[in-house]
């Protein structure tokens, strides 16, 4: 059982102890939770390129710690001015290219996200927050066990030479181009990055996919978060183009179901899985950046009525045609930040910007190539995103929890289980995070779950107690090893007396919840 960590004046949880330590160091210097999140994320862009990076996107939820207000930051990039869906269709593509194609690389939003978060909620100089990451990129960092497999592949790609030294965990990796890019942000803000060495290399690599105006346009917007009341709390996530509505809809459905008292009961897994299925089966048709009214109460009631406690639902016609890292921080003043940052699939597109060696995400795989689809690939458009951080407040508006996970299409499913354990069953963060999970699996890439919703199976993590019961209820089940394919979830829970209780996911191997 993974331990719950406790603190009284601040905490940071992330997938890497080096990142968590950098975040806590920012808190020690008087920084805010936003400062801590930026410092931790900056380190992860260096040490965890198989999950996130300067070439990826960012979303964040912020509880300001005073008025009780929750705000949402969408720092997802837009397709370049040269985006041409007709050309892809003429080449025979029915879906966006998954790897090795610059057209699945919207302009990365990470740096714009940092700058917007810092401008509104930061206390320390940005340069000081980036210093630990710059030092690790220049002097080197020990390769984590999770980096090994992807690094061997990345080293063989043009621009991936930083990873040629990785043969076993602990090998020292230096990333001088990333150090230069971070230093440029520290010195010159967004222009140092988007219009500097990285931007010039991206324009060259894009060969018409982007123009300079695309890079000059900021990618970060403060937007209104989505929220729902469930289990006596308000749970918040990101609005479209995020799939956060799937988590909230499933929680709203689950709150009205007769859940068993024990999460070990197969009926518990069945009801939550069905809540996730009836929420997500039509995601490909519904989710686009301008989607509205996805959480209408009557729609939640309609979908809840589809859930049958006695058997798996056949959903009928299929819907229309990663990796990631999550971190969270809470400071001594009660500010909480729930931040998720991603390349999409592992190292992303496996395309590297040639001057800095920064690997570029492939979030463009969320676009549709169906003519006229509201999420069709096109200039200046944001793709549908799997990223779905969460934040929980009490009825009085005070912060209860910050929580999130990586996991592609399965992110809402993982969080549905963790949040239900926390709020409905009163589990501590450690047990809630470390407990075995199910996920709706479709094989393939982890981003294609909803192309044929009735063909999916329930992947059950090693140690899960539900296998026979779920099979009897009509679920095809597959046993899977305990590990990162079921997400890396992290959680900080604020107790009524202000004590912080947190846990980093043991599936991350070197993750850490560090308090002060």
DSSP β-ladder status, 457-461 and 477-480: parallel
Distance set, CA 514 to CA 12, 129, 146, 192 (Å): 5, 17, 20, 32
- 3-class secondary-structure state, position 236: strand
Q: In what order do the strands lie in the sheet with 233-237?
A: 5-7, 500-504, 490-494, 399-404, 390-393, 233-237, 226-230
- Rounded to whole angstroms, the Cα distance separating 72 from 226 reads 9
- Rounded to whole angstroms, the Cα distance separating 8 from 13 reads 15
One DSSP character per residue, 306-355 reads: T--TTSPPP--SPPP--EEEEEEEEETTS-EEEEEEEEESTTTTSEE-TT
- Rounded to whole angstroms, the Cα distance separating 209 from 393 reads 42
Q: In this structure, are residues 408 and 447 in contact, taking their beta carbons and an 8 Å threshold?
A: yes
Which pair of tokens denotes residue 348?
A: 């992303």
- Rounded to whole angstroms, the Cα distance separating 36 from 42 reads 10
- Rounded to whole angstroms, the Cα distance separating 400 from 383 reads 31
> Using alpha carbons only, how large is the chain's radius of gyration in Å?
21
Which pair of tokens denotes residue 49?
A: 């390129």
Active centre residues (catalytic): 324
- 3-class secondary-structure state, position 262: coil
Query: Left (φ > 0), alpha (ψ -120 to 50) or beta: where does 87 sit?
Result: alpha
Which pair of tokens denotes residue 252?
A: 């709203």
Which pair of tokens denotes residue 129?
A: 């927050």
Q: In this structure, are residues 89 and 370 in contact, taking their beta carbons and an 8 Å threshold?
A: no
């Amino acid at each position: 059982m993974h331990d719950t960590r406790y603190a009284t004046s601040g905490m940071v949880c992330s997938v890497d102890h080096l990142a968590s330590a950098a975040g806590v160091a920012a808190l020690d210097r008087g920084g805010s939770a936003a400062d801590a999140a930026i410092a931790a994320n900056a380190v992860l862009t260096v040490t965890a390129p198989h999950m996130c990076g300067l070439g990826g996107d960012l979303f964040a939820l912020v509880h300001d710690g005073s008025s009780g207000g929750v705000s949402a930051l969408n720092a997802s990039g837009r397709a370049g001015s040269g985006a041409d869906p007709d050309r892809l269709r003429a080449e025979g593509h029915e879906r966006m290219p998954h790897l090795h194609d610059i057209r699945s690389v919207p302009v990365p939003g990470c740096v714009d996200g940092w700058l917007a978060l810092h401008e509104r909620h930061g206390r320390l100089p940005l340069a000081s927050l980036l210093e630990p990451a710059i030092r690790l990129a220049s002097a080197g960092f020990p390769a984590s066990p999770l980096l090994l497999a992807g690094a061997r592949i990345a080293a063989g790609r043009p621009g991936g030479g930083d990873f040629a030294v990785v043969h076993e965990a602990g090998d020292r990796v230096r990333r001088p181009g990333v150090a230069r890019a971070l230093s440029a942000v520290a010195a010159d803000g967004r222009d140092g990055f988007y219009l500097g060495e990285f931007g010039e290399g991206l324009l060259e690599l894009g060969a018409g996919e982007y123009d300079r105006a695309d890079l000059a346009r900021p990618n970060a917007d403060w937007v209104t978060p989505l929220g729902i009341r469930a289990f006596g709390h308000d749970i918040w996530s990101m609005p479209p183009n995020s799939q956060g509505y799937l988590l909230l809809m499933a929680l709203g459905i689950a709150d009205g179901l007769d859940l068993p008292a024990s999460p070990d009961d197969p009926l518990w897994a069945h009801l939550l899985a069905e809540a996730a299925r009836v929420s997500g089966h039509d995601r490909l048709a519904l989710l686009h950046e301008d989607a509205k009214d996805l959480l209408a109460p009557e729609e939640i009631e309609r979908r809840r009525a589809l859930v049958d406690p006695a058997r798996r639902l056949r959903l009928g016609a299929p819907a229309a045609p990663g990796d990631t890292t999550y971190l969270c921080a809470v400071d001594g003043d009660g500010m909480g930040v729930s931040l998720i940052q991603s390349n999409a699939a592992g190292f992303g597109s496996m395309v590297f910007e040639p001057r800095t060696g920064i690997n570029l995400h492939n979030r463009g795989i969320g676009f549709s190539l169906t003519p006229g689809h509201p999420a069709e690939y096109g200039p200046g458009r944001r793709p549908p995103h799997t990223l779905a951080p969460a934040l929980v407040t009490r009825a009085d508006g005070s912060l209860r929890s910050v929580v999130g996970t990586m996991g592609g299409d399965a992110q809402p499913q993982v969080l549905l289980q963790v949040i239900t354990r926390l709020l409905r069953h009163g589990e501590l963060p450690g047990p809630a995070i470390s407990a075995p999970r199910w996920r709706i699996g479709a094989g393939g890439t982890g981003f294609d779950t909803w192309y044929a919703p009735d063909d999916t199976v329930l992947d059950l993590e090693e140690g899960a107690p539900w296998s026979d019961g779920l099979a009897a209820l009509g679920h095809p089940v597959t046993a899977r090893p305990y590990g990162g394919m079921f997400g890396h979830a992290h959680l900080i829970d604020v107790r009524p007396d202000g004590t912080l209780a947190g846990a980093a996911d043991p599936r991350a191997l070197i993750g850490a919840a560090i308090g002060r």
